Structure 1
Amino acid sequence: MSQTFTPICSVDQILPNTGVAALVDGRHVAVFRVGSDKFHAIDNIDPRSGASVLSRGLIGNLGERTVVASPLYKNHFDLSTGECLEAPEQSVRAHAVQVQDGRVFVALN
């Protein structure tokens, strides 16, 4: 079964080292631009609070992992896997991202 990619926005609409929120097939997704050319997508709902806020978190590194810190409880989520480093049972799903012709697309996993 092939993935269906949904257009989110143009690359220029996501500033480097920030995220944006999108609704993909009814699911709240956070799309992040790391540096100038790396893109990641994870669920946007903070599992601890239930709020749709992960796209507003701070991007950084913990060891070799690129993470976002939830703005509410400061838990760190691996942008590649969605794993919550402090509480793995609160991990979120990671989604596939493609960039084509200056546009960002996401497919739910």
Structure 2
Amino acid sequence: MTELVLDKVENADSDGAQTTARTGAPALWQHVCPLADLEESWGEAALIGDEQIALFKLPGGKVHAVSNRDPRTSAQVMARGIVGSTGLRPTIASPLHKEIYDLETGECQLGGAGLTIYPTRIVDGIVEIAAAA
């Protein structure tokens, strides 16, 4: 697998402060599943190492990956959230309290803690995620 060094993955808190999920952590592209196994606009959970990750395939085949952990409750439920959008920005609404998170940045629309995002790519029809080694 190809080694990747992740730059900062930051989320803004409600007061505008930045929190860093990962900084310069070595990562590897991890095979997750065939793209064909993901249903459009429906979440699936994957276990990469000891991290639960929620995957969302959007119209056009773009795949987003975020932490499966709901920042408000710490429950591992984000894969069961409601896929939507705000303007042209793809979003996921928590299935518990309906907070809305941007799938590209992880930012919560109401402020507060956001979701960790993971880079994704499709190689030969296989979804891969860059996760910490």
Give 2:62's match in structure 1, choosing from 11, 33, 38.
Answer: 38
Q: TM-score, normalised by structure 2?
A: 0.76
**Cα offsets for 1:22-69 (capped at 9, x unmatched):** 111211111110114111101110011111111111111112311001
In structure 1, the partner of 2:77 is 53
Q: Which amino acid aligns with 1:13?
A: D
In 1, Cα distance between the equivalents of 2:101 and 2:31? 24
Query: Which structure 1 residue ranges, 5 or more long, are not aligned?
Result: none
Task: Please say if 1:102 is aligned against 2:125.
Answer: yes
Equivalenced residues, count = 108
Identity %: 33
Q: TM-score, normalised by structure 1?
A: 0.92
Q: Which amino acid aligns with 2:87?
A: G
**Aligned 1:1-109 pairs, distance under 5 A:** 2=4, 3-87=27-111, 89-108=112-131
For the pair shown, which has the larger CA radius of gyration, 1 or 2? 2
Q: Secondary structure at the match of 1:5?
A: strand
In 2, Cα distance between the equivalents of 1:64 and 1:17? 15
Query: Which structure 2 residue ranges, 5 or more long, are not aligned?
Result: 5-26
Q: Which amino acid aligns with 1:65?
A: R
**What is the aligned-residue RMSD (CA, Å)?**
1.4
Provide runs of 4+ in structure 1 moved above 6 Å.
none
